Amino acid sequence: MFPKNAWYVACTPDEIDGKPLGRTICNEKIAFYRGEGGRVAAVEDFCPHRGAQLSLGYVCEGKLVCGYHGLQMGCDGKTVSMPLQRVQGFPKIRAYPVVERYGFIWVWPGEAQLADPAKIHPLEWAESPDWAYGGGLYHVQCDYRLMVDNLMDLTHETYVHATSIGQKEIDETPVNTKAEGDHVITSRFMENVMAPPFWRANLRGAGLADDVPVDRWQICHFHAPSHIMIEVGVAHAGHGGYHAPKEHKVSSIVVDFLTPETETSMWYFWGMARNFSAQDTALTAQIREGQGKVFAEDTAVLEAQQRNLSANPGRRLLMLNIDAGGVQSRRIIDRLVAAEQPQKLAA
Amino acid sequence: MFPKNAWYVACTPDEIDGKPLGRTICNEKIAFYRGEGGRVAAVEDFCPHRGAQLSLGYVCEGKLVCGYHGLQMGCDGKTVSMPLQRVQGFPKIRAYPVVERYGFIWVWPGEAQLADPAKIHPLEWAESPDWAYGGGLYHVQCDYRLMVDNLMDLTHETYVHATSIGQKEIDETPVNTKAEGDHVITSRFMENVMAPPFWRANLRGAGLADDVPVDRWQICHFHAPSHIMIEVGVAHAGHGGYHAPKEHKVSSIVVDFLTPETETSMWYFWGMARNFSAQDTALTAQIREGQGKVFAEDTAVLEAQQRNLSANPGRRLLMLNIDAGGVQSRRIIDRLVAAEQPQKLAA
Amino acid sequence: MFPKNAWYVACTPDEIDGKPLGRTICNEKIAFYRGEGGRVAAVEDFCPHRGAQLSLGYVCEGKLVCGYHGLQMGCDGKTVSMPLQRVQGFPKIRAYPVVERYGFIWVWPGEAQLADPAKIHPLEWAESPDWAYGGGLYHVQCDYRLMVDNLMDLTHETYVHATSIGQKEIDETPVNTKAEGDHVITSRFMENVMAPPFWRANLRGAGLADDVPVDRWQICHFHAPSHIMIEVGVAHAGHGGYHAPKEHKVSSIVVDFLTPETETSMWYFWGMARNFSAQDTALTAQIREGQGKVFAEDTAVLEAQQRNLSANPGRRLLMLNIDAGGVQSRRIIDRLVAAEQPQKLAA
């Protein structure tokens, strides 16, 4: 269950570098490619001639050329040409609104006339030289909402990520959740604790002592339809925590774009944006590698959870206080999906 | 189709050594582990919090800890604790009667109040120092009743196991089948034949001549719900066959516990118990390896048979005299299954 | 959708060399083997005793012996014998008309009484010492009619086989299609073009210059139910093209037998027959290897097309002039299938 009238991250630019990419998003099979002038384009991955998969073809002068019989498809879903054929009467295929911004390709799988690029979620860090970003993509066999639950409640770090970012104090510290429109915030503040291995490494990476008590924070932001940004960091204890001056803390933003593929599978674009040692590309690579291992731990848990839920479709789950972030985020999703349904007439 | 009010072999102790085991038995997804005091426990493999797979977690002080958010599950299916939560109101999950005995973990997937450990099938050889046992486990994609048929009619050895235990005299010798309550016996006695390779090796292993005629026997015992013990052996001809004194024969018990996973898949616990050279662990390993190869031949045949039957659901099969062991065993299974159905009121 | 009252290529003789072969053709699971006197036989792959897969057994003195309990099956589907059993009352299984001819095993999966070996499509080249043949078999996950479309319109060579047999002039040259009874012909003639790599190699193989302009032809013949023979060749330009004398041309026949497995999978017997350098077995092997690579390019395109069509079942496709060969061939298939349906009574 997902809203279709929304901007989702579809892919990263390297995935359409020199060749089309076929990817299913919200049950839509889509071919992504660079069209005229290098502008990104997205059309139905279905050749109107005989149903071949357009993304198996190639791009020539901004047209997507079908690899079967050479039909040239335009970015608007209208056939441009085909050898020896008049193509005016060819049926149009769907074209999807698509925008390249912030280092991602964004697609709107719903009604094209509703797509407004101004609604793409703003990412200030993506446009500032003070920040560095590294990330990756996982294909996960679960409903994307299980990942929303996962990321809006970091209690699981103690168990799922015991050797990297988990620590006992996480699940001993209550969370606070609030919703503001299509934005949900779950926050947890731990004071005067020892940093876990991931953060000790980051303290050292920023030239700070790693063997002294710290204040640690986690502030999870859900934005519709399914983008989650988590402010995370540690500051040497007693300097103000989240509000400590820069020389006493290291902090970053865990970036998670959850893009539904089908009802029970998803594309997980994960990464981390940081504003310390931003020019240190070796550090970026090191963080990316560590984070990739951590997030692979989540996918194993969630895929098993999905199998359990699929086998027990009617079963009620608990909604505890730690689940409030996920519960409130799902309410927003429910509302957006309901708004897309055809209106029923009053009796 | 399988009775659920019965003791089945679920696993061997090494499979729950230091970590939980998730296994589906009679369509029930179950987490097996060692609970308090090292006693074996079995609960539904479904965390009551959010449906995570409990067997992916770990055991701490006799509690099964969910690897997602740290919920601690008790052996009775009641949540013991969860960080920062009151758990009294948490829904109970199923706990399954489970017993460790004879070197196996036995589970009762049906109604717990009917489970009586005294009903576990007795295995005298498992408790005697005069006997040695070696075995293994295969996951087979067929209805377990096809394996019942297979083991209650050893005619197939001539064809499926031609190079090890098969010999032409098997299918030239009639069988005798009788049923006593929930026990079916199919027996075959061959006199004055040459032993096949497997038995020649065993004769040598017991210090007996392997190049003289023998009397050979196969006595298959089916016990409900689906345990099959086969007395097999050879004696130098003319010394009384099955009743020959120990110095003239080698004999053993083929041990087969057939545990349904789903309607068309099963866990096959196979092995051999022998009362000669019981201390010879190298011989145990050698027999186990040979038997593993023999039983793998069966699984290939049965999985193809299952595919054929699934593709031809209404088709009638023959029930010949050689099939009597399987036919009578299935009648017992049918009766046990019928007895578990809700009673219909008389009109 | 396929006619069943037709001769299809089932396998090649090497596939039943010394052991039975199990293969599904037109949804029929069939065991092929050499029966009495080495004559090819085909029976249902289902033992009438317990449903075992007969093709997992072996052949003994012309009988197919079930590898489970030794039932001996005759070529007519009647059980010949079984150890210790009277088999007269055993149910008959289906036997399929089957003929070995032209280096292939042909099967008639429909009504046996309609099978006339005289209706097997004649292959003159298969019986002449002036011709050499090499080929292979691919298992393709698509409706065989997508392959009919593919082979009756070679426009795709320009795109799918750009590096071997494709050239731009193909899709710049119109085709001509005509139907005669159960025979459809689509032809294309290109004059005064440079030969693509595959044909340059063949010119050299025939001792002809490869760097001069040629006339090139492609004449696709569809014969019911789904055999496609394509006359292909090049002649040095100005010598009469297709009709040029032998010393100025190289030509061959692309041989494609399309045998349905299920509605969405097929057996693709492909090959090439040539009448130049017929004794050169190294050349045969070289052509076979090249052709195998070319036809693997098709299977990737067609399997993706099948997935697209399966996901869009109601969607209309275009029927352009280049598709006429496939369209007319499908009409013949439709007519044959309709003729097999039970007759409706007039109202």
Most confident of A166-180, B195-209, C207-221: C207-221
Question: Pick from A161, A143, A102: which is nearest to A329 by CA?
Answer: A143
Q: Judge if the upstream peptide bond of residue B225 is cis by omega within 30 degrees of 0.
A: yes
Q: Please give the average per-residue pLDDT across C198-220, as a whole number.
A: 92
Name the band, by pLDDT with cuts 50, 70 and 90, for residue C346: low
B69 vs B65: CA distance, rounded Å: 9
H-state helical runs in chain A: 144-151, 157-160, 168-172, 197-205, 281-311, 324-340
pLDDT at C100 over 70: yes
pLDDT at B66 over 70: yes
Q: Give the model confidence (pLDDT) of B111-134 as tens digits.
A: 999 999 999 999 999 999 999 999
Confidence (pLDDT) at C111: 96
Name the average pLDDT for chain B: 94
A178 vs B180: CA distance, rounded Å: 69
Q: Are C91 and C78 in contact (CB under 8 A)?
A: no
Query: Which residues in chain C have Cβ-Cβ distances shorter than 8 Å to A83?
Result: 155, 158, 171-172
Q: State the sign of the Cα–Cα–Cα–Cα dihedral B109, B114, B118, B123.
A: negative
pLDDT at C109 over 70: yes
Write the CA distances from B222 to B41, B120, B176, B252, C48, integer angstroms: 28, 14, 14, 16, 25
pLDDT at B346 over 70: no
CA distance C155 to chain A (A): 6
DSSP C242: G
Residues 6 or more apart in contact with residue B250 via CB below 8 angstroms: B199, B202, B203, B205, B206, B208, B233, B234, B274, B276
Cβ neighbours around C339 below 10 Å, total? 10
Cβ neighbours around A340 below 10 Å, total? 14
C133 vs B207: CA distance, rounded Å: 62
Write the CA distances from B138 to B256, B263, C239, integer angstroms: 11, 16, 70
Q: pLDDT tens for chain A, 347 residues: list them.
A: 999 999 999 999 999 999 999 999 999 999 999 999 999 999 999 999 999 999 999 999 999 999 999 999 999 999 999 998 999 999 999 999 999 999 999 999 999 999 999 999 999 999 999 999 999 999 999 999 999 999 998 888 888 888 888 888 888 888 899 999 999 999 999 999 999 988 998 899 888 999 999 999 999 999 999 999 999 999 999 999 999 998 999 999 999 999 999 999 999 999 999 988 899 999 899 999 999 999 999 999 999 999 999 999 989 899 988 899 999 999 999 999 999 988 766 55
Confidence (pLDDT) at C345: 63
Q: Please give the average per-residue pLDDT across B66-74, as a whole number.
A: 95
Confidence (pLDDT) at C277: 86
Question: Pick from C80, C1, C95: which is nearest to C40 by CA?
Answer: C95
Q: What is the DSSP string of A89-153?
A: TSPPPPB--EEEETTEEEE--S-GGG--GGGSPP-GGGG-TT-EEEEEEEEESS-HHHHHHHHT-
Q: Give the model confidence (pLDDT) of B136-174 as tens digits.
A: 999 999 999 999 999 998 888 888 888 888 888 888 888
Q: Which of C29, C47, C50 to mutate to test the interface with B (most CBs of B within 10 A)?
A: C50
pLDDT at B25 over 60: yes
Name the average pLDDT for chain C: 94
Confidence (pLDDT) at B284: 93
Among all residues of chain B, which has the CA nearest to that of C22? B304
pLDDT at B207 over 70: yes
Taking an 8 Å cut-off on Cβ atoms, the answer to whether C50 and B318 are in contact is yes
Question: Pick from B297, B290, B319, B42: which is nearest to B177 by CA?
Answer: B319
Q: Which of C69, C78, C86, C88 to mutate to test the interface with B (most CBs of B within 10 A)?
A: C69
Share of chain C above pLDDT 70, in %: 99
Query: Which residues in chain B have Cβ-Cβ distances shorter than 8 Å to C52?
Result: 301, 304-305, 308
A49 vs A79: CA distance, rounded Å: 10
Helix/strand/coil (H/E/C) assignment for every residue in C253-283: EEEEEEEEEECCEEEEEEEEEECCCCCCHHH
Among all residues of chain B, which has the CA nearest to that of A317? B50
Confidence (pLDDT) at B206: 85
Query: Which residues in chain B have Cβ-Cβ distances shorter than 8 Å to C56?
Result: 300-301, 304
Confidence (pLDDT) at C93: 97
pLDDT at B343 over 80: no
Share of chain C above pLDDT 90, in %: 84
Confidence (pLDDT) at A347: 52
Confidence (pLDDT) at B163: 82
H-state helical runs in chain B: 144-151, 157-160, 168-172, 197-205, 281-311, 324-340
Name the band, by pLDDT with cuts 50, 70 and 90, for residue C206: confident
Q: Give the model confidence (pLDDT) of A23-64 as tens digits.
A: 999 999 999 999 999 999 999 999 999 999 999 999 999 999
3-class SS of residue B325 = helix
Taking an 8 Å cut-off on Cβ atoms, the answer to whether B56 and A304 are in contact is yes
Confidence (pLDDT) at A346: 58
Interfacial residues of B (vs C; Cβ cutoff 8 Å)? 149, 153, 155-156, 158-160, 171-172, 174, 300-301, 304-305, 307-309, 311-312, 315-318, 320-323
Name the band, by pLDDT with cuts 50, 70 and 90, for residue B345: low
Confidence (pLDDT) at C344: 66
Query: Which residues in chain B have Cβ-Cβ distances shorter than 8 Å to C90?
Result: 318
Taking an 8 Å cut-off on Cβ atoms, the answer to whether C308 and A53 are in contact is yes
Cβ neighbours around C249 below 10 Å, total? 23
Taking an 8 Å cut-off on Cβ atoms, the answer to whether B83 and A320 are in contact is no
Report, in this order, helix, strand and coil percent for chain B, each rounded to 5. Answer: 30, 30, 40
Among all residues of chain B, which has the CA nearest to that of A153? B69
Q: Which residue among C172, C311, C316 places its CB closest to the CB of A83?
A: C172
A70 vs C46: CA distance, rounded Å: 47
Question: Pick from B67, B215, B235: which is nearest to A150 by CA?
Answer: B67
3-class SS of residue B241 = helix
pLDDT at B347 over 60: no
Taking an 8 Å cut-off on Cβ atoms, the answer to whether A156 and B69 are in contact is yes
Confidence (pLDDT) at C110: 97
Confidence (pLDDT) at B172: 84
Cβ neighbours around B73 below 10 Å, total? 31
Taking an 8 Å cut-off on Cβ atoms, the answer to whether B312 and C49 are in contact is no
Q: Are B268 and B258 in contact (CB under 8 A)?
A: yes
Q: Are A14 and A345 in contact (CB under 8 A)?
A: no
